[in-house]
């Protein structure tokens, strides 16, 4: 069950911040907190993850730059989570490597979709405080979920199931709301183009 908890927690959390997850798993393995695959505890892997985490930490705090960063990571986060899932599952022996990769990638995609959708809405606000507050909350949440995953695997699985349901519902709601707003804007622009104001 330890591998399943780490797979679930790291998979979903990777959709929010892949580099922090990789760094924390490496540290957990080096400190002996959990049975983490050796590839994640390598110094070079941890250094790269640490540097990219710092870059993402600041990129996430800048409105619109974070949208570009998220767009680029639409592929990177699920693939990274799939790679982590594959090595975690491969070493456990109880979960197939392909299944681990598929589960990790799918969980990350779910979390990433919710993060990217929420960020677009938050960036509609002109002040930067809400964006900074949201990103700090995400980082704390990722750290908390990874910590939970390496210490209490069964509760982690329950938490991830709840997060998947909530994130999926949020993403659907945000996209429906955005689609309605675009339709209203389109109708308003069409009306303005067909009925110019009298001068």
Task: Give the span between the Cα atoms of 82 and 140, in whole angstroms.
Answer: 22
Q: Round to whole Å and give the CA distance between 14 and 51.
A: 16
pLDDT for residue 199: 46
Higher pLDDT residue, 195 or 112?
112
Residue 42: the pLDDT is 97
Contacts of 53 (CB under 8 A, 6+ apart): 17, 19, 20, 23
Q: What is the pLDDT of residue 188?
A: 62
SS3 74: helix
What digits encode the pLDDT tens for the residues 167-179?
999 999 988 887 7
Element (H, E) at 58: helix 43-59
pLDDT at 187: 67
**Helices of type H across the chain:** 2-30, 38-41, 43-59, 65-92, 97-122, 129-151, 153-194
Beta carbons of 25 and 146 less than 8 angstroms apart: yes
pLDDT tens-place string over residues 30-62: 999 999 999 999 999 999 999 999 999 999 888
Query: Which has the closest alpha carbon to 107: 168, 65, 155?
Result: 168
Please calculate the CA angle 190-195-197 and round it to the nearest 5 degrees.
125
Considering only 37-41, 54-58, 136-140, 191-195, which range has the smallest mean pLDDT? 191-195
State pLDDT tens for residues 10-33: 999 999 999 999 999 999 999 999
pLDDT value at 137 more than 60: yes
């Amino acid at each position: 069950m330890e591998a399943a908890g780490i797979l679930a927690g790291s998979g979903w959390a990777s959709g929010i911040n892949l580099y922090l997850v990789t760094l924390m798993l490496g540290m957990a393995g080096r400190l002996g907190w959990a049975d983490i695959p050796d590839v994640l505890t390598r110094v070079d892997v941890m250094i790269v993850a640490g540097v990219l985490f710092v870059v993402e930490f600041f990129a996430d705090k800048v409105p619109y730059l974070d949208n570009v960063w998220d767009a680029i990571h639409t592929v990177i986060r699920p693939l990274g989570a799939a790679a982590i899932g594959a090595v975690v599952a491969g070493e456990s022996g109880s979960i197939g490597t392909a299944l681990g990769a598929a589960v990790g990638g799918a969980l990350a995609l779910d979390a990433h979709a919710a993060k990217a959708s929420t960020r677009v809405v938050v960036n509609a606000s002109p002040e930067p405080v809400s964006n900074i507050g949201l990103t700090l909350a995400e980082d704390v949440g990722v750290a908390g979920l990874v910590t939970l995953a390496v210490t209490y695997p069964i509760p982690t699985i329950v938490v991830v199931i709840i997060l998947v349901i909530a994130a999926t519902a949020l993403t659907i709601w945000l996209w429906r709301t955005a689609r309605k707003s675009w339709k209203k804007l389109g109708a308003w622009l069409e009306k303005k183009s067909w009925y110019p104001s009298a001068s």
